[in-house]
Structure 1
């Protein structure tokens, strides 16, 4: 499934903005994340949402929209600038192209013209994504607690940061019972609730301050520190959060809660890859099959879902090919059953890649990281971690 383009609309006239918005979203390929008549603070809005494109309706505010186009081209070059207006004199159009606009359409643009422009932006985004060499938002999900999805989230994040030396964060989206900081040995001061409470002034710098540093290149955005704050986090916060994190981190790992509500849906839809974690007992196989059916109804394509079997022990009574037939989906990777190493790493507050480097799981996590990113690297030695409940 192609991820919708994110776009902000700027225009002085509310009716024109509304008509343009309806035209954009009618094809289902655009997510209008914001709209505004305030050209003077347009750059701040773009920095907050980090959209694929900004559409500037130039009518009545040509100089202000021209200044905004110049600012965006200079300060936020990854955002494609599209302009529309009733004044399509050659001189005016040339000014906007020189300012950094990619397209200038007569207002109102036809559906065919808009479709052509959107297809160009999609192609440009695809090229940019390829140049990122695999950097991505990765959601880890399991319908049943106890399957090890948090263990996978934490250790995959640590492996990516440690092996590839790229900035990586884990977002603990288990809003009421998140435990990622315990696995990582850190004591967070801020949490995802602070993102919700500061939505109106959230920018990249403020968002970074809400993260807890774990080690070189690894950060954690904790779940709410107070149980009652879990209800403060809404789907719109998740959409804004992940949009901003894409611009700050090479890899964003989202540890989802074990049920599908609106916030979980927001995370799954924005993810580039979904790691569906399962065990091979009958109950887990059943719930995983049901989850795949739900994903299909949600429009989450098979191309973004990867099944990971946790605590795998070969069992002739549960052959993998038969399990794949039940799922209607191939199994992407099996993680060995090294419970002692995983438990020791948890108690130490230090991921496997550093605390248990000889565990077969470490090699498998590196393999998983390679499959997701397309990169190859040799894991580094050493770990500068946090605290442990039982000391170090």
Structure 2
């Protein structure tokens, strides 16, 4: 996939200078058509084993489609929380069952059991990395959780909430708002603000929330997980109230150096190309960011804006803020390397465990190369549902 993509003026500057984001607005320029993903070859399902010990888990609900007399044999786990969403919910809910927590395991890492198979782990190691990445994003956005012009939201949805850190922090910022985060993995913490709830749900299935019930919908880093991006955007539009906002935050899967300090044949460049190829094989994409504004425009969103920000890797920038971001992002990337690579390389690309282990070691070594003035980008796109629709 390719498109003519506007870039920040800072990205054309010299390496090491402070980065100033550029704002893009939706225009009539047509990106290249996104071809339907080919039918993926069957991917082996990760094996399941029972955890050696049962950790305390927060209370959740599981979204159940009740629109066609859906039947379930789920049994209550004993929670008193039969429903966290009230009578206006578009779905029936049931207590979290043990099957959702019967995780898959592969090469010592833990993966989701519920919903669409996702090739990034959900274990404690990866959760710490996700929270560190959240910190990197906050540093880049100067402490802001979002950029959309939101005022007094009453209902907020965090799609693909992960560890729930974004949902928890936005709930603290808006204590009068009801915040719901959903994910295929029930990994969120027990102790959360009283206005936060979590739902075990697969956003690749039909969204069951009540139409026109949310003021703000947020998603971040859902690339490589979404099966149908135009449908994903339409679902957000459908459950937003008139006048509500949707914001997509996606980091790019690329290694860039404005000064050419990272050679094209370096393993870091091979790594991001391999990841992109692997996810395309299974019907996903790592490169949704060039098209999100167009998909939003086609769906009916207005007041669309897009911004790109540089995320340095390493302490090479001269600007002190960029240097701090780069330092945290280097640790983030070192922590993320195995989780991003292991299952994808072995399960999708069919590479052997020893080869993959060496590849991970080489990637980490090159990430620490102080002569590489490298970065990737963070794309924030938001738009509003018209008041009259």
How would you bin the TM-score normalised by the shorter chain? Answer: under 0.3
**Which of the two has greater helix per residue?**
1
* Structure of greater relative contact order (alpha carbons < 8 Å, 6+ residues apart): 2
TM-score by length of 2: 0.28
- In our comparison, the structure showing a higher alpha carbon Rg is 1
